[in-house]
Every structure is written in structure tokens, then in C-alpha cells.
Amino acid sequence: MQKEYVFKEDSSLEHYTADAYVVRCTDNRFRGVFKHFIKHLGFEDIDAASPPGGAKVFASPTKDEDREVALEKIRLLTPVHHIRRVVLFTHVDCAAYGGSLRFNNDEEQEFEFHSSELKRAAEVIRERFPDLAVETYFIDNKGIVRVGQ
């Protein structure tokens, strides 16, 4: 069968070492701050997943299978890209959690909730992959807050 390219560009087939495996929400409103923070951390190559809710997929997935699928991705990629660090995010007004309305727009209550979700997500990953370092962050309209540790 003949391959007809609709777009041409060369890519290297060499594997890289990922600075981290990063999980954040699909919601792209925070793409700017996320991108700048990744650069701020000094990351060049990351492996990234963006399920709705970000770290929610580990802490309180809609279906238990979703958690297993998400963990399987880490298991698969860790040896290939020499992953040693997992970085998890959730964010303010996340639709997967019912938005800020769920917290009656109470900023403190919403942050407390996300902190406990992030801690639970980190525990799930540490339990399955004790050799990986896990960091957790909350994103809002003013920036990024580290949670835990």
C-alpha cells in the first residue's frame, strides 16, 4: 500500500529520558501557566497524560478501570523513558469535580478539597510504584501551589 503524506517532517526515533510523567486535566484554560511552570521546573522532555480532572483519575476515578488504565500507562512508560518522577495537577473550577459551584465558590473549601484529592492520588501512585518520586500541585487563576511534602 502506498503512503501518501499530507504533511512531511522528519522525527527522531531515538528514545529520550523523560524529566517526569505529568498528569493534568484536559481543560486547556491553564495551558499558559502550566507550560511556564514546566519550563520553570527545568523540564525539557515530559511524558504527559491529560484525563478529565487530572490527578482525579488516581484519587477518585469515575470508574475503577480508569485508575488501572492510568497506572498502566506509568508502568509501561517508566522503563522506556527512565521515569523517576511523577507530577500531578488538579485545578480550580474543574468540571470533572463539579466546578467551583460545588464549593459555593468558597475558595478555601475548594482548595482543601483539592489538597486531599492530590494527597490521595499521590498515595495511590506511591503504593504501586514505590521507587517513583511524586509531587502534587494545584493550579488556580493566580498561579500554582504545591500540596503535601
Site residues, Zn ion (CB under 5 A) = 25, 27, 94
Contacts of 18 (CB under 8 A, 6+ apart): 45, 46, 47, 77, 81, 82, 83
Residue 27 vs 123, nearer CB to Zn ion: 27
Residue 19 vs 54, nearer CB to Zn ion: 54
Q: What's the rounded Cα separation, in Å, for the pair 43 and 40?
A: 8
Taking the complex as a whole, the smallest distance from the CB of residue 60 to Zn ion amounts, in Å, to: 13
DSSP 84-96: -EEEEEEETT-GG
> Which DSSP state fits 109?
H
SS3 content of the chain, % helix, strand, coil (to 5): 40, 20, 40
Taking the complex as a whole, the smallest distance from the CB of residue 13 to Zn ion amounts, in Å, to: 33
Taking the complex as a whole, the smallest distance from the CB of residue 105 to Zn ion amounts, in Å, to: 16
For residue 96, the one-letter residue type is: A
Residue 20 vs 23, nearer CB to Zn ion: 23
Taking the complex as a whole, the smallest distance from the CB of residue 25 to Zn ion amounts, in Å, to: 3
Residue 27 vs 66, nearer CB to Zn ion: 27
